[in-house]
């Protein structure tokens, strides 16, 4: 039977009414905190001269190029990080997001004098918005992290108890997942959920390696799995959730034709999916806008989107 939220989602999608879709509870479980606000908010905070992101970006190198040439120079201290984290929560709340898993890179710790100050900042922001949102801080790391920093930054962050999940991102051609295996095992032993970016631009081999070596619970993107029945079965058997970001895939060129986005085939295969923002600042599309986008592209029906929505609230 349809509940009130399902009905509101149906109305919102059919009437293309974004306010109604925002009124339905949902999760954003693939988001990166430094880029979790709208561009205009960041631009205003940074003084008004930040270059706007392009609507078409050339893959991860293009994205890194934009971030490192236009944004990072403004994020230089703990006050900057506190602002980014808080604005990410505020933006998610405005979008009707009730569960937010957003990654905070472990290098952020270096901008704080004391590690306790870093962890305290995250906790106090979460506590401030506790009534509005279930904020689950995610520990992020890029593949260019040094061996020294894996021990110096990652371990205290895992030990802090602040982070609920861990995620690895960066150049997909670097498939040295073995390097992170022991850290992932340690994170698991401390109760963190395991995620990894895989299969965004590359095929099922990348996804399969990430699953078999890191034994992850969820994959950020994972759309490359669609090229192998075996890997899709593996994902399904292990009940691995794929956290997909349609606008990100299109803007970065991972998917050329949205009407043929692999999410549909993965969903039809019975794999649990969610739909998320990735980098709101760059792709300018909240979760509600993403739902409407894929609905209008004919990828998913109202009922399917409601199932995807419920997956995101687990």
Residues that bind Zn ion (CB under 5 A): 220, 278
Question: Closest distance between Zn ion and the C-beta of residue 216, in Å?
Answer: 14
User: Whose structure tokens read 């949205």?
Assistant: 258
Q: Which is nearer to Zn ion, 10 or 91 (CB)?
A: 91
Nearest residue to Zn ion, scored by beta-carbon proximity: 278
- CA 292 to CA 302: how far, in whole Å? 10
Question: Closest distance between Zn ion and the C-beta of residue 92, in Å?
Answer: 15
Q: Which is nearer to Zn ion, 24 or 60 (CB)?
A: 60
Q: Which is nearer to Zn ion, 10 or 278 (CB)?
A: 278
Tokens representing 119? Answer: 């962890």
Q: Which is nearer to Zn ion, 172 or 278 (CB)?
A: 278
Question: Closest distance between Zn ion and the C-beta of residue 278, in Å?
Answer: 5
150 burial (CB, 10 Å; 0-12 / 13-18 / 19+) is middle
- CA 92 to CA 290: how far, in whole Å? 13
Phi first, then psi, for residue 156 (nearest 5°) are -60, -30
Half-sphere exposure of 225 (CA within 13 A, CB side): 33
Question: Closest distance between Zn ion and the C-beta of residue 11, in Å?
Answer: 31
Q: Which is nearer to Zn ion, 220 or 288 (CB)?
A: 220
152: Cα separation from own chain's centroid: 24
- CA 185 to CA 195: how far, in whole Å? 12
- CA 114 to CA 227: how far, in whole Å? 46
Compute how many other C-beta atoms are within 10 angstroms of the C-beta atom of residue 148.
8
Q: Which is nearer to Zn ion, 103 or 121 (CB)?
A: 103
What is the SS3 assignment for 241? Answer: strand
Question: Closest distance between Zn ion and the C-beta of residue 105, in Å?
Answer: 12
Q: Which is nearer to Zn ion, 278 or 289 (CB)?
A: 278
**What single-letter DSSP state applies at residue 23?**
T
Compute how many other C-beta atoms are within 10 angstroms of the C-beta atom of residue 147.
8
Residue 103 contacts residue 138 (beta carbons within 8 Å): yes
Question: Closest distance between Zn ion and the C-beta of residue 143, in Å?
Answer: 13
Question: Closest distance between Zn ion and the C-beta of residue 245, in Å?
Answer: 7
Q: Which is nearer to Zn ion, 121 or 243 (CB)?
A: 243
Question: Closest distance between Zn ion and the C-beta of residue 226, in Å?
Answer: 18
Q: Parallel, antiparallel, or unpaired: how do β-strands 26-32 and 165-169 relate?
A: unpaired
């Amino acid at each position: 039977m349809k509940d009130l939220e399902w009905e509101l989602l149906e109305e919102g999608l059919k009437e293309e009414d974004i306010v109604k879709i925002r009124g339905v509870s949902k999760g954003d479980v693939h988001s990166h905190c430094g880029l979790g606000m709208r561009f205009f908010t960041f631009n205003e905070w940074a003084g008004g001269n930040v270059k706007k992101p392009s609507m078409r970006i050339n893959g991860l190198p293009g994205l890194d190029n934009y971030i490192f040439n236009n944004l990072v120079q403004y994020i230089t201290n703990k006050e900057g990080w506190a602002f980014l984290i808080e604005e990410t929560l505020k933006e998610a709340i405005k979008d009707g997001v009730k569960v937010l898993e957003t990654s905070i890179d472990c290098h952020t710790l270096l901008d704080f004098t004391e590690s306790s100050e870093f962890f305290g900042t995250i906790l106090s922001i979460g506590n401030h918005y506790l009534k509005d949102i279930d904020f689950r801080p995610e520990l992020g790391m890029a593949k260019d992290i040094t061996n020294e920093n894996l021990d110096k930054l990652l371990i205290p962050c895992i030990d802090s108890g602040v982070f609920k999940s861990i995620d690895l991102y960066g150049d997909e051609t670097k498939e040295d997942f073995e390097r992170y295996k022991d850290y992932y095992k340690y994170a698991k032993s401390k109760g963190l959920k395991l995620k990894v970016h895989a299969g965004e631009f590359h095929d099922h081999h990348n996804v399969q390696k990430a699953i078999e070596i890191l034994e992850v619970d969820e994959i950020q993107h994972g759309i490359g799995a669609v090229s192998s029945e075996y890997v899709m079965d593996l994902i399904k058997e292990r009940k691995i959730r794929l956290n997909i970001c349609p606008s990100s895939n299109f803007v970065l060129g991972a998917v050329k034709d949205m009407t043929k986005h692999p999410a549909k085939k993965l969903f039809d295969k019975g794999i649990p999916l969610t739909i998320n923002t990735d980098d709101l600042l760059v792709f300018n599309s909240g979760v509600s806008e993403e739902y409407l986008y894929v609905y209008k592209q004919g990828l998913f029906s109202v009922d399917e989107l409601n199932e995807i929505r419920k997956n995101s609230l687990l």
